[in-house]
Amino acid sequence: MTAVRRCAALLCLWVVAMAPAAARDIHYGAVVDPAILECDRSHWRGDIETSRLCYANLLRDDVAAATKAEAAWALNNLQQSNEWFRAALAEAPDDYRSKVRWGDLFAASHQDAEAMNIYREVLEKDPTNAFALLGAARVLVGSFEEAANNYLEPLMMGAVPDNGAMIGALLLVAQVSLEGGNYDEADEALDQAAQLIEDEGWPPLEVYALRAAQDLLNNTDGSRWTEQAIAYNPRFGGIYATPAHFYVITRRYRDAIDLYQKAVDIEPELASAHENMGINLLRDNQVTRARMHLERAYQLDPFSPRSVNSLRLLDSFSNFRLIEDRPTLDGDVPIILRLHKDEADVIAPYAIELTRDSIEVFTERYGFALREPVIIEMYPDHDDFAVRTAGMPGLGILGAAFGYLLAMDSPSGRPPQEFQWGSVLWHELAHVFTLNATDHLVPRWYSEGISVFEEWRSGPNPGVRIPMSVYNAMREDRFLPVSELDNGFMRPSFPEQVIVSYMQAGLVCDFIDREHGEHKLRELLDAFGDGLDTEQALGAVFGMDPGEFDDEFDAFVAAEFGEFLEQLDHWAHTQAEISARLDSGDWETVIDLANELLGIMPHYTEPDSPYLAVARAYNELDQRDAALEALEEFWRGGGYDPAALNRLADWLVEDGQPDMAIEVLQSINLVDPLDADLHGRLGDLLLEADRGAEALQEYEVALALRPHDMATAWYRLASAQHALGNDQQSQDYLLQALDIAPNFRPAQRLLLKLASGADET
């Protein structure tokens, strides 16, 4: 590997996820104690019983503390190991080799900050300590920090020559390169590492594992490296666990589970494999089996936050309700919801309806019928969703699909003005189709593209919604070539690149649909399902190479948005002016400016849409019709601000348009279903429109929200049941209302009406 190419590999490090470190990896010379090395050799060859006796024999009183620390660590007694490292360093504070290993112990027990402190302390005293550099680089790569390069470079560039640490660095680069799809660089790093390992006499197991992962990524069946690894060490679980990690990052979770199972079959004490299997089993809704492996992982490695978080989440499942919607038609699949018990009755009706609608639309459009139940989990606490998705809190996404199971924030997880839960559910359900229709072979960009496109076109709140930051990126020509679009999701190079990539992917699908026909969307999906990569699939479906495809797409974007992009600065300036005029109440100017912007981009319905400003201004000037028209345009264009839509519904009712008011209020359900007033209002309008069954559903949801005015909630239910001819049920509900409010006149009147009807019959 040349220096330049090494640097190219280094630059990618900061964003790539790494598999969790094993408890005590092969150290490649970080430890030189012959007694430990002797035990290690037995261990690396899979002679576990011998190695355990060997390590145990080193725990004698007369053995040096640093040696005992390594032995205790190898026997998975991490606390004792910590004590002995501490003792060893108290005796010999300048023993940097032991100190680095102490840092490695902290890193292996998931205490990255403490590990980094130790590495930094060593490097302050001994700036060329190769294993301290390597340890720091590993920790920082694991936490996606670009600073990892600062520690890796001296090793890779030869400034700090140490063959053992170089092996570790090369393996790190190889893994990162494989994750980034840079297979040639990975290959080169592995070649170098293998040569050094052979020269130095270290076990080749980790090279074999990465080679096996490389074969997996190249769709090579039956990697020879697996056989070689098993021959070297029949109890080396990493030969399966490392490739499994690559199945996970390419979203082939069931394949990953199979490999993790093989890993723990041959190495039952491999905590990270149990943990990853547990997390991936959860993604496949195998909850009981997941718990078993997570508990085993916790027993083996009680310091791992991912296991602890996941087990806590599983414990919290007692606060959730499982709701199953059985299919009514042949060929349909059941829908299973896991919803928090406090909001299950509110969300379930809408979620089921949306899911059934989406299945109908996507089955027809993509020619694929689901084969298993769809499982939908919604979490009121975003961190629970994050743990469900990645094992750790702090995830910046709203939903995730793993196959037939999807998890997302529940409507109560975020403020309603920030979150269209109905559209997110629609988006994730599109993933359910694209993933399963292709056996998880669809590339990330196309799966996201279809999901965004379907949100815009067929979703519950249709309309192309593109944030201003993405328009800015368009103007700056920051869209990626389609063949590299996956990188925008997985290795973003600027802060907004993930959202820019989502929008670009959606626009690519929009472009395909409009310029080449809807059938091409399905053909492209099928091509991915046949195992083609993006370049091959574009060639097969469109007869174009990626460059030609990009050229056509660029022309489409230019035609669609070019004029607008030229006026972005004017747009921003005018928006600021509108904001100031709103504050000062200069309504006429607000109307002029906002209408000017809407002339430039009539489809912009984001939260700072000019439609909202112009509607407010017209209303302030008592020009209600114009205000109503502006809000109606906003709503039809996909605007979802619940306050604005509530206002629109009120105005429509006042204007004698109750049917459209119903539609507007129904769209708010997909943004803010926890608004108790909304369901009462909507139910009333539906009842007035002789839509009793729909009214009943709204009233049931209103009751589930336990409103302050329970008497009215029961009365409304009674009214709907009466309208549907269910007078016995209606009477029951009336008694519930009157039990709370005996003098509630409307309820009394309906009770008398029911009684007189009963008498007449």
Partner 1 sequence: MIIAAALCAPAIAGAGANALVVEGLAGEPAYAEEFERQASTIDAALRSLPDSEDVTVLRGDAASRESVLAKLGELQDALTESDRFVLVLIGHGSYDDVEYKFNLPGPDVTGEEIVAALDALPAKSQVFINTSSASGAIAELAVADGRTVVLATRSGVERHATRFGSFFANALTDDTADIDKNERISVSEAFRYAERQVADFYERNGQLATEHPVIDGGQAGRFALGRLGVATPAVDDSSLAELVAERNGLNAEIDELRRSRDAMSPDDYRSALLEKMLELAEVEDAIDARREELDDGR
Summarize as ranges the residues that interact with partner 1 (CB under 8 A): 412, 414-416, 418, 672, 674-675, 707-712, 731-732, 734-735, 738-745, 747-749, 751-752, 755
**Helices marked H in 621-675:** 624-636, 642-654, 658-669
CB of 729 to partner 1, least distance (A): 13
CB of 34 to partner 1, least distance (A): 59
What is d(CA 488, CA 335) in angstroms, rounded to the nearest whole number? 33
User: Please, which residue, 12 or 747, has the CB nearer to partner 1?
Assistant: 747
- Stated length of the chain: 761
User: Please, which residue, 510 or 675, has the CB nearer to partner 1?
Assistant: 675
**Helices marked H in 284-420:** 287-300, 305-316, 344-366, 382-390
CB of 410 to partner 1, least distance (A): 12
User: Please, which residue, 292 or 710, has the CB nearer to partner 1?
Assistant: 710
CB of 22 to partner 1, least distance (A): 39
Q: C-alpha angle with apex 213: 247 to 402, nearest 5 degrees?
A: 5
Phi, psi of 167 (to 5 degrees): -60, -50
CB of 675 to partner 1, least distance (A): 8
CB of 576 to partner 1, least distance (A): 22
Phi, psi of 394 (to 5 degrees): 95, 20
The closest of 569, 251, 683 to 675, measured between CA atoms, is 683
Q: What is the CA radius of gyration of the chain?
A: 31
User: Please, which residue, 352 or 735, has the CB nearer to partner 1?
Assistant: 735
Q: C-alpha angle with apex 488: 400 to 550, nearest 5 degrees?
A: 120
User: Please, which residue, 360 or 418, has the CB nearer to partner 1?
Assistant: 418
CB of 671 to partner 1, least distance (A): 12
CB of 92 to partner 1, least distance (A): 50
User: Please, which residue, 573 or 749, has the CB nearer to partner 1?
Assistant: 749
The closest of 281, 357, 366, 251 to 17, measured between CA atoms, is 251
User: Please, which residue, 272 or 412, has the CB nearer to partner 1?
Assistant: 412
User: Please, which residue, 595 or 748, has the CB nearer to partner 1?
Assistant: 748
Let me know: does 160 contact 169? Beta carbons within 8 Å: no
- Residue in the structure block whose two tokens are 């606060």: 319
The closest of 371, 283, 284, 367 to 333, measured between CA atoms, is 371
Let me know: does 557 contact 549? Beta carbons within 8 Å: no
Residues 6+ apart with CB under 8 A from 746: 715
- The interaxial angle of helices 34-44 and 48-57, nearest 10 deg, is 160
User: Please, which residue, 96 or 699, has the CB nearer to partner 1?
Assistant: 699
CB of 291 to partner 1, least distance (A): 31
What is d(CA 252, CA 410) in angstroms, rounded to the nearest whole number? 25
CB of 731 to partner 1, least distance (A): 7
What is d(CA 429, CA 399) in angstroms, rounded to the nearest whole number? 10
User: Please, which residue, 413 or 449, has the CB nearer to partner 1?
Assistant: 413
**Burial class of residue 683 in the structure, from the number of CB atoms within 10 Å of its CB (0-12 exposed, 13-18 middle, 19+ buried):** buried
